[in-house]
Structure 1
Amino acid sequence: MSGIDADFAAMIEQQEAAARVQPAPPLDAIPPDMVRAGYRMQRQAQDQNAPKDVEARDLKVAGGAGEVPARLYRPAGVGDPSGLLVYFHGGGFVIGDLETHDGHCRRLAAGSGCRVLAVDYRLAPEHPFPAGHDDALAATKWAFDHAADLGADPRRIAVGGDSAGGNLAASVALDLRDDPQRKLAFQLLLYPGIWPDEETQSRKDLDGPVLTRAALEWFDKMLAATGHPHAHRALLAKRDVENAPPAFVVTAGFDPLKDEGREYAERLSAAGVPTKHVEYPSLVHDFYIMADVSPAVAAAGEEAAAALKAALA
C-alpha cells in the first residue's frame, strides 16, 4: 500500500497475516458486546504510554434519558477555571468507550492545558438513534450548567470527537448555535463521520485499512438513523452550517471518511465559519487511539491539542 505510514503498514500486514490463518466471522455473527470487548482490548494494547500527570475522575452527567457515565481529565498545573473540551469517542455509534479513548483524552488534556470531559453516551443497537445524539446534547448542556463544579470557564467550552464522535460533536455544535446561554467556542472534528447522502469517492475507493465497507454497513444498520424523522441530526450532509463555532477538522489519507470530512470543512468555510482542515496523507482511520503504533500519532495529537489550546486560551 504505497504512501502509507511504514509503522501502520507493518501493523496491517501482521493483522492480514493473522486473518489468513484464522478469518474473523462477519460482524453480524458476533454479539455487539463481544465486538466491543475485542475493540477495547486491541486499542488499549496499542496505547499504553499516555501522560501520567493527568488526573482522571469518573462521574455522572445528564443524558437524554437519565444519567450517563463520564470522565473528567485535569492536566497538571491547570488553572481554575480553564477551558473545557466535551469529548465523544468514536466507534460507529456501536463500539468504543471511556477506556478505548483514555490515552487520547489524556494527551489532549496535557497538550492543551484544558480539562476534558469524556462522555460515555449510549450505544446502538441496544439504544438506537437518536439515543447517542440525545446524550451528547444533554451532556454538553450539563457541562455549561455545571461549569463551576467542573472547574471550567463557560465562555471557553468546546465539543470534539473522532469518527462517530466527530459526528456527535458537529451535531451538538449545530443544535446549540442558537442557544444564547450555551455558546460553544470551538469544535474539534477528528476524521468525522458525516454520513453523506451520496457515497463519496473515498468510500467507493477504500475498503479498509482499519475501517472496512462491511464495518460501515454494519454501523449504519445498527444505528438505524436512515428514515428517522430526525435523521438530519446524524446525516449531516445537507444540514445548514451557518453560524457554527470555529472548527479544526482532521482527515487521514487512508480513511474511507476522508472525503466527507474534507467536504464538511469546505462547507463550514464557505458559510463563513473560521475553519482549519489538516489531512495526514499517510495515516489511517482511528490513528489517534493507536499512539504506540507510530510516532506520527504523537505529532498529530500535538497539533490537535495546540489548536484546542489556541481556541480556548
Structure 2
Amino acid sequence: MTTLAQRVPQGAQAAGLRAAFALPRAVRRRIAGKPVRVDSQELALDAQLLLRLLDLSGISLSGANDPVAARAQLDASSSMTAGPTIQPVITRELRIPTPDGAIAARLYSPAGVTAPAPLLVFYHGGGWVIGNVDSHDNVARLLARQGGARVLSVDYRLAPENPFPAAVDDALTAFEYAHSHAAELEIDPARIAVGGDSAGGNLAAVVAHHTTRRNGPAPAFQLLIYPAVDFTTRAPSRDLFADGFFLTREDMDWFEDLYLPAGTDKADERLSVLRAADLSGLPPAYVVTAGFDPLRDEGEAYAEALHKANVPVALSRQPDLIHGFVNFIGLGGRFREATSEISAALRTGLTLAGH
C-alpha cells in the first residue's frame, strides 16, 4: 500500500507543511488535537502538530524495515523540515583516508570566522543505519554560523553493510584526521570539539572517552544531543515514549539489530559508554535531552555519571520536545529555538576551551 508521502509530490508536501505551521495557533491546535501531557510535561504544539502530520503521511524512521527505503525516506523528509539553506557558510568536500577506504566529509566555515578557528567534528544521527551529511546539512550550517566554529561533518559507514564497530572506527579516524591536519583545515588543535545527535551523540561520547583513556590527543569539548549511551538497560523513558513520539521502540530495536553483529557484548565501552569503568578526565560536556524521547533517561544518567566523575557537565532537558528536533529547524518555533540554544552552548564551550 502506498503512503500519502509516496503519492504526493515532494514539493507539494513541503509547501503543505510550511502552510500548516503558518496557520493561526488556534487552527494548528485543532489539527494537532488536545494537549498531550506525560510525566508532568506538556508536548509543544509545534511537536504535536508535526507528529500529527507525519502520522497522516505514513512516514516512519524504519521505512518498512528496509534500510534503502528508510534512507530515501529520510532524505526526502529532511529536505522538507530542514528549511532554506542557511547562509553565509562556505563548504568544502573532503576525503579522509582510512585503511578501509576514504570517508567522505564536509567542512563548513561560517562567514567571519578567523584562523585558527575552533572546530566541531560532527557525527549525524540515524541509528547507525540511516542519515548522512546531506540529511544534516542545515544542522551543521546552523551550528557553524551560530556556534562561531568550523564544522567537519562526517559521513561514517552505516549498518547493515558495515556493522559495529565500523562507525566507531570512522568516528575516531575523523577526529584524528582533524587534529593532525589542523594547519590545513585552519583550525586550532586545542579547540576541537566532538558532537552529534542520537547515534551521532553516541559516537561523539565514545570518541571522547576512547581518546582520553589512551592519553593521546582528545577533544576539548563534547556536545551530546539526545545521545544513545546504554545498550544494556531499558530505562523508564523507553517505555513511557515507546510509541507515538517519532522515535519508537520498533525503530530502536530495528536499528540495534542491524548495527550489532550477533554475539556483540552490549556492555562494550564503544557502545554503552555509560557503563564504562572510568569516566574521569573526560572533556567538559553539554548534554541535551528531549522530554518526550525514549532516550531521555539514559542521556540524563550519563550527565549524572559525568558529574559524579568530576567532569564539568551541563544538562539541558527540552521538556516539551521530541527526539530528532534539530532536524526540524526549518519549521521554526520551538525546534529552532532549542537548536539555537545548543549552538550557543557550543560557542561557550569552545570559547572556554581556549582559555
Superposition TM-score, scaled by structure 1 size: 0.94
Kindly tell me the number of residue pairs found equivalent between the two proteins.
309
Write the distance in 2 (CA, Å) between the matches of 1:277 and 1:113: 21
The answer to whether the Cα contact below 8 Å between 2:194 and 2:219 also exists between their aligned partners in 1 is: yes
The answer to whether the Cα contact below 8 Å between 1:51 and 1:107 also exists between their aligned partners in 2 is: yes
Superposition TM-score, scaled by structure 2 size: 0.83
* Deviation of the 1:141 alpha carbon: 0.5
Residue type of the alignment partner of 2:44: D
1:257 to 277, 290, 295: 295
> Compared with structure 1, are the counterparts of its residues 18 and 66 closer, same or farther at alpha carbon in structure 2 (3 Å cutoff)?
closer
* Deviation of the 1:237 alpha carbon: 2.8
Aligned match of 1:224: 260
Q: Percent identity?
A: 41
For 1:176-195, list aligned pairs within 5 A: 176-195=211-230
Residue type of the alignment partner of 1:174: H
Write the distance in 2 (CA, Å) between the matches of 1:38 and 1:148: 38
SS in 2 for 1:127: coil
Write the distance in 2 (CA, Å) between the matches of 1:113 and 1:205: 37
The answer to whether the Cα contact below 8 Å between 1:62 and 1:135 also exists between their aligned partners in 2 is: no
1:49 to 65, 71, 84: 84
For 1:1-313, list aligned pairs within 5 A: 1-2=36-37, 3-19=42-58, 27=62, 30-63=65-98, 65-208=100-243, 209-224=245-260, 227-228=263-264, 231-239=268-276, 240-313=278-351
The answer to whether the Cα contact below 8 Å between 1:176 and 1:182 also exists between their aligned partners in 2 is: yes
The answer to whether the Cα contact below 8 Å between 1:161 and 1:189 also exists between their aligned partners in 2 is: yes
Write the distance in 1 (CA, Å) between the matches of 2:333 and 2:99: 38
Unpaired segments ≥5 residues, structure 2: 1-35
Larger-Rg structure: 2
| 1:174-205, Cα deviation, whole Å (9 max, x unpaired) | 11114555131000000001134111000011
Aligned match of 2:30: none
Single out whichever of 188-197 and 101-110 deviates more from structure 2.
188-197
Runs of 4+ in 1 over 4 A off after TM superposition: 26-30
**Which is bigger in relative contact order (C-alpha 8 A, separation at least 6)?**
1
Write the distance in 2 (CA, Å) between the matches of 1:180 and 1:235: 20
Single out whichever of 113-122 and 200-209 deviates more from structure 2.
200-209
Write the distance in 2 (CA, Å) between the matches of 1:161 and 1:28: 22
Residue type of the alignment partner of 1:215: D
The answer to whether the Cα contact below 8 Å between 1:64 and 1:138 also exists between their aligned partners in 2 is: no
SS in 2 for 1:66: coil
